[in-house]
Every structure is written in C-alpha cells, then in structure tokens.
Amino acid sequence: MSESKITDWNQYGIQTQSIRAGQHRTPENEHSDPIFVTSSYVFDSAHQAQARFAGEQPGNIYSRFTNPTVRTFEERLAAMEGGERCLGIASGMAAIMSFCMGVLKAGDHVVCSRSVFGNTMGLFKNFMAKFGVETSFVALTDLNAWEAAIRPQTRFLFLETPSNPLTELVDIEALADLAHGKDCLLVVDNCFCTPALQKPIDLGADVVVHSATKYLDGQGRCVGGALVGPENLLQQEIFPFLRTGGAAMSPFNAWVFLAGLETLAIRMRAHCDNALKLARWLEDHPRIERVYYPGLASHPQYELAQRQQSGAGGIVSFDVRGGREAAWKLIDHTRLLSITANLGDVKTTITHPATTTHGRLSPEDRQRAGISEGLVRVSVGLEDIQDIIADLERGL
Ligand SMILES: *Cc1c(COP(=O)(O)O)cnc(C)c1O
C-alpha cells in the first residue's frame, strides 16, 4: 500500500477530511476506497509471522484485530473528530461496552447522565454492576450534581449532548474542567451532533463515542460504532480488549460508513435547515404546547447551543395538546414519515417516546425525565420540508 502523502489532517476542513483522510492506495491505484473482505492475512515467512504475533512488527494478522477498510474508516473519523486515534467497533453499544471493559475494574465508579440512550443505562445498571462497578446517574444540566457525584473511585463521566428526546445540553468545556480536576475522563456520545456540528475533543472531552448506525451512515443501512480518543488510552487499554472480546467492525460496514462520512457535513447542514423550519412551524401551531429544539430562541440553552454547536441538529421533539391520544393520532395519520424509533436517517422518522424508547421506565421516572404522554420525537430527514410539514398537519 502506498501511504497517503498527507499525515497531518488537522489543517484541513472537515469536508476535505471526510473525503480524503485515511485512504492509502493499493498498487492497483484505485480512486475509490476498496473493501478488504478477508478474515486473515498471509506472511512472507515463518519469521515474519512470529514477529507480527509478538507485536514486534506492525501489520495485519486477522480481521478481528485489524482490517484495512476498517482502518480507513478509523483514520477518517479520527481526523474529523480531531482525535489522535479511532477504533471502529461492531455497534455503538459494543463501543461503549468495550470502553468499559477496557478501563474499568471491580470497585470503580462511573457518573452517567440520566438522559442517555436506554441500552447505555442498562449496560451500566444491569451488567457493569454485576462486575462490581457502581454508576451514579445525575441530571445532565446540573453541574453541581455532577461534581457531588464524583468519588475517589470515579474513572469517567459519561453523557450525550443534546439529550434524547428533550434536546437538553451540557457545557462540555465546564464538565471537562470538572472531570480533569478530579482525575476523571470525560466521555461524550456525539451521536446527535456528529463532528460536523460539535467537536467534544476540542472542547476538552477525552473520548468520543459513536453509533455509526445513525448519522455517520445516514441512510439506515448498517450497524456500527466507534471510539475516538488519545492514542495511548485506546491502544493500551481498549484495543487489547477489543481484540480479545471480538466486537470487530465488519469491513463491508466500514466501507458503507466511509461513503456516509463523505457527505456527512453536507447532510447535517441540510438536516439542521429542515429541522429548524419544522421547529418554527410547530412553535406557531395552536395544537402544539411546547417545542424542544436547540435552534429556537425559546430553548432554555439557546446561547450554549450557539456557542458549543455549529448547528442545532436534526432532532425535534414537541408536546402535542391532548396527551397520548392526540400524539398517537398525529403519528397514525402520517403517510410519508416512518413510524420507527431509529434516528439519523435521510428518511424522517416519528416516535412516541413514552410508549417506546422510554416505555420501560416507571411513570414516576418518566415524569421526572420530562417525557410526557403527549411528547412526540421527529428525526427530521432530507425530504422536502413542505412535504414533512403537510404529513404532520394532517394528524393535527
Ligand atoms: C443508537 C444509539 C446508541 C447505540 O448504538 P448502536 O449502533 O445501536 O449499538 C448509543 N447512543 C446513542 C445516543 C444512540 O442513539
């Protein structure tokens, strides 16, 4: 393989990085990124095999460890997030699990936002707890609660911003300072914004988590995940687990994500434009009680969103007057929108959090989380905005 002539991608813009970073042409001189569909690799000699296995010589051994297509994805996403290193992993959840298995041991403690993806919460509550790792859950926006929850055994703070589905934000820079003052890592799941709209590492976060399944693919095709962070941490603590634990990203999926990344910044811009138009329309609608979107001046953290993100994102949530009945009526009257809990797709999706993504919470927990019976979440896609609006108007 010929190494790329460019080694420092920091000086390039994100669209250039997303199209160019990580490609190392083979002797075939292909222009597009190839897929390496191979489980193992051959050695020139028994001596070379020995040196590779001993870690004395770099190079591929087996695709559970490394794969050139996955490596291209890793280098590209690392450049885009501004991190030293990226690991491509089988899914977003496998990325979070691998991070936990790599850095945590019995007796350790984690502080996690209460407003994270349901399975993330389940991983900490139901599985990490079995291995003697305790997790405290705090309100995302309450910096005092984060500080109060940190113990000497705390290894990292974990959060998503904006949160799902209420689009609450936390000041990443402030939380990074807090974490580092207490010798903890700050881990940010950057699923909602992607590096096109928010760069947590530039703001002081140590590690970024991704579900590549969402906007990085952007067209609802493949399941995948990634971690971006310091070379030492990822190479010394996470990669050995990944190689042993086996949650490898498939080269085909990596190849699909590579194509997704090429258009990420452009798509995110278009998602933001459509979402803002929808949010403004909803805000003026008499049947809508409240709209949650960080791009609206009425959002309580509008200023922070303007400062921390370069766009407000593609997720709009709103309370419909009339509770569950009205919310379900709205959802059931759509013809174009997809009724599904997935998000980050070119297709607009609509979901009722109280009975789906947050259906397992007790009514009290749901209320505390601000998930009302009338709440509807829309992941705004790239269809013509007037068609999305017309589809929602019917049920209102
Ligand atoms: C979907 C999602 C995940 C999990 O990702 P998978 O690829 O489905 O495993 C994690 N975090 C957030 C915010 C998500 O939306």
Q: What is the pLDDT along the chain (396 residues), one digit of tens a residue?
A: 667 788 889 999 999 999 999 999 999 999 999 999 999 999 999 999 999 999 899 999 999 999 999 999 999 999 999 999 999 999 999 999 999 999 999 999 999 999 999 899 999 999 999 999 999 999 999 999 999 999 999 999 999 999 999 999 999 999 999 999 999 999 999 999 999 999 999 999 999 999 999 999 999 999 999 999 999 999 999 999 999 999 999 999 999 999 999 999 999 999 999 999 999 999 999 999 999 999 999 999 999 999 999 999 999 999 999 999 999 999 999 999 999 989 999 999 999 999 998 888 888 888 888 899 999 999 999 999 999 999 999 989
CA 159 to ligand 1 center in whole angstroms: 12
Closest residue CA from atom 2 of ligand 1: 211
Q: Whose CA is nearest to atom 7 of ligand 1?
A: 92
In this structure, which topology does domain 265-395 adopt according to CATH? Answer: Aspartate Aminotransferase, domain 1 (3.90.1150)
Q: Is the CB of 225 under 6 A from ligand 1?
A: yes
User: Mind listing the pLDDT tens digit for each residue in 203-245?
Assistant: 999 999 999 999 999 999 999 999 999 999 999 999 999 999 9
| Per-residue pLDDT, 361 | 81
pLDDT of residue 362: 83
Q: What are the residue ranges of CATH 3.90.1150.10 in the chain?
A: 265-395
To test the pocket of ligand 1, the residue of 98, 114, 191, 377 to mutate (highest count of ligand atoms within 8 Å of its CB) is 191
Which of 91, 124, 194, 214 is the pocket-test mutation for ligand 1 (most atoms within 8 Å of CB)?
Answer: 214
- List pLDDT tens digits, range 34-83: 999 999 999 999 999 999 999 899 999 999 999 999 999 999 999 999 99
Cα distances (Å, whole numbers) of residue 158 to 182, 205, 388: 14, 10, 34
Q: Are 99 and 207 in contact (CB under 8 A)?
A: yes
Distance of CA 179 from the midpoint of ligand 1 (Å): 24
- Supply φ then ψ for residue 248, to 5 degrees: -75, 145
Please list the residue range(s) of the chain that carry CATH number 3.40.640.10.
Answer: 13-262
Whether 92 is in the pocket of ligand 1, judged by its Cβ within 6 Å, is yes
Kindly state if the Cβ of 257 falls inside 6 Å of ligand 1: no
Residue nearest to atom 4 of ligand 1 (CA): 92
The pLDDT, as a whole number, for residue 1 is: 63
Any idea which fold 13-262 has?
Aspartate Aminotransferase; domain 2 (3.40.640)
Strand order in the sheet with 225-229: 85-89, 225-229, 207-211, 185-189, 154-160, 109-113, 134-138
Ligand 1 binding pocket mutation candidate from 89, 93, 123 (most atoms within 8 A of CB): 93
- Nearest-atom index, ligand 1, CA of 192: 13
Q: Is 296 in the pocket of ligand 1 (CB under 6 A)?
A: no
0.85 cut: is pTM over it?
yes
